[in-house]
């Protein structure tokens, strides 16, 4: 393990012996997130076989800053060092601004050494950084009221009417930790991804998320009155937050308003369990999902993604809106579901 001395701090790489102090640091840092947790090193390594470089600063025997980095290398989609791929947040967190910049500096040096196309650091807050900035996404969230009626009242009037409509559709809500709902969830998510023209992850990836993060992950499944599947979502829990992260549905979802029903039930369930913040995740600015989340009454909060270009000459654009992916997306949407489930994981592992 390589150690580089920086004044009175030492930058080291995460080992299994450091998992507990790393996670303790993340959970107690104001900018710490679910996506900074050490478990992502295990999940990403096991699911995708990407090389992970989870760096931390040690000061007087204690962790004083962390930066999870993953190398994603593909002939088709490029070669990058990212904090953190498959996650909406990342970037360095530390005791001081100077230590954040030191971790970034180390990341830039690592990116040069690995000869990647670019380094990408995904921050929730604006940084006083010399790195290139791109603001293409926003996050959404809101405080959770203490009961169902107050939660419903806090939602924007038009969306509140949609939820009231869904409550009349005799939908069932099943929420389970572990793998109990995993098969139904994967079927619905695969259907949704195929319809969007997006390669689905392997089922093993979601199994690894459940295994590594344990009770901090659960899956909600919505069925109609005939017990037929409609919508599902995998939720992450961190400190006082709930994050409905991977969600999808089939053709019945729109008419039944099952996604609206599902997200409302997730909010209510989390509130009952003492969670106080609902993180509705990231959406590309002015996209359909962006407008959908605004309809709930949540205000967009800009995300700050910073880049250091190594071999690349311009900022990356892996967005589905990129014209060069248009034909690929149209072809993917026509694939049989089973075929998309077989081929998808070979591509999605590089779309971090």
CB hemisphere CA count around 339 (13 angstroms): 8
pLDDT at residue 46, as a whole number: 97
Q: At what angle do helices 203-213 and 39-48 cross, to 10 degrees?
A: 160
For 166-200, write each residue's pLDDT tens digit.
999 999 999 999 999 999 999 999 999 999 999 99
Q: Residue 337: phi, psi to the nearest 5?
A: -55, -45
pLDDT at residue 8, as a whole number: 46
Cβ atoms of 80 and 117 closer than 8 Å? yes
Q: Which two tokens stand for residue 56?
A: 């931390």
Q: In a 3-state reduction of DSSP, which class is residue 63?
A: strand
Q: How far apart are the first and last CA of the chain?
A: 26
pLDDT at residue 343, as a whole number: 96
pLDDT at residue 49, as a whole number: 96
CA–CA gap between residue 178 and residue 216 (Å, rounded): 10
In our burial notation (b when 16+ CB lie closer than 10 A, e otherwise), range 215-239 reads ebbbbbbbbbeeeebbbbbbbbbbe
Please state, as a whole number, how many other Cβ atoms lie within 10 Å of the Cβ of residue 110.
18
Q: What share of the chain is helix, strand, coil (3-state, %, to 5)?
A: 40, 30, 30
Ordered by where they begin, the domains of the chain are 4-135+303-316 (3.40.630.30), 139-301 (3.40.630.30)
pLDDT at residue 182, as a whole number: 98
pLDDT at residue 10, as a whole number: 86
The DSSP symbol for 7 reads T
pLDDT at residue 12, as a whole number: 95
352 residues of the chain, pLDDT tens digit each: 444 444 445 899 999 999 999 999 999 999 999 999 999 999 999 999 999 999 999 999 999 999 999 999 998 889 999 999 999 999 999 999 999 999 999 999 999 999 999 999 999 999 999 999 999 999 999 999 999 999 999 999 999 999 999 999 999 999 999 999 999 999 999 999 999 999 999 999 999 999 999 999 999 999 999 999 999 999 999 999 999 999 999 999 999 999 999 999 999 999 999 999 999 999 999 999 999 999 999 999 999 999 999 999 999 887 666 777 788 889 999 999 999 999 999 999 999 8
pLDDT at residue 328, as a whole number: 85
Q: Which two tokens stand for residue 148?
A: 């169902």
Could you check whether the bond before residue 191 is cis, i.e. omega within 30 degrees of 0?
no
Closest CA to 204 of 47, 350, 88: 47
Has this prediction a pTM greater than 0.85? yes
Cβ atoms of 20 and 8 closer than 8 Å? no
Count helices and strands in the chain by DSSP H and E runs: 12, 16
């Amino acid at each position: 393990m390589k150690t580089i001395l920086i004044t009175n701090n030492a930058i080291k790489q995460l080992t299994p012996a450091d998992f507990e102090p790393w996670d303790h640091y993340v959970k107690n840092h104001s900018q710490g997130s679910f996506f900074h947790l050490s478990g992502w090193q295990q999940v990403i390594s096991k699911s995708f076989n990407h090389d992970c470089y989870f760096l931390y600063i040690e000061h007087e025997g204690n962790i004083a800053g962390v930066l999870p980095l993953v190398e994603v290398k593909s002939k088709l989609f490029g070669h990058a060092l990212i904090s953190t791929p498959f996650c909406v947040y990342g970037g360095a967190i530390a005791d001081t601004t100077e230590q954040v910049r030191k971790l970034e500096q180390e990341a830039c040096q690592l990116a040069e050494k690995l000869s990647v196309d670019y380094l990408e650091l995904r921050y929730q807050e604006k940084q006083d950084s010399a790195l290139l900035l791109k603001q293409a996404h926003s996050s959404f969230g809101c405080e959770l009221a203490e009961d169902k009626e107050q939660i419903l009242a806090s939602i924007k009037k038009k969306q509140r009417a949609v939820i009231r409509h869904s409550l009349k559709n005799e939908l069932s809500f099943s929420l389970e930790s572990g793998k109990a709902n995993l098969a139904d969830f994967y079927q619905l998510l695969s259907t949704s991804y195929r319809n969007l023209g997006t390669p689905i992850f392997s089922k093993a990836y979601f199994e690894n998320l459940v295994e590594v993060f344990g009770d901090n992950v659960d899956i909600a499944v919505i069925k109609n009155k005939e017990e037929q599947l409609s919508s599902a979502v995998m939720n992450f829990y961190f400190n006082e937050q709930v994050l409905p992260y991977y969600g999808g549905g089939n053709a019945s979802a729109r008419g039944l308003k099952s996604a609206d029903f599902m997200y409302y039930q997730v909010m209510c369930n989390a509130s009952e369990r003492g969670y106080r913040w609902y993180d509705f995740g990231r959406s590309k600015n002015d996209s359909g999902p962006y407008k959908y989340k605004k309809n709930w009454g949540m205000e967009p909060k800009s995300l700050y993604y910073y880049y250091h270009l190594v071999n690349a000459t311009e900022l990356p654009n892996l967005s589905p809106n990129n014209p060069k992916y248009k034909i690929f997306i149209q072809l993917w949407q026509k694939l049989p579901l089973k075929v998309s489930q077989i081929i998808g994981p070979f591509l999605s592992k590089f779309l971090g």
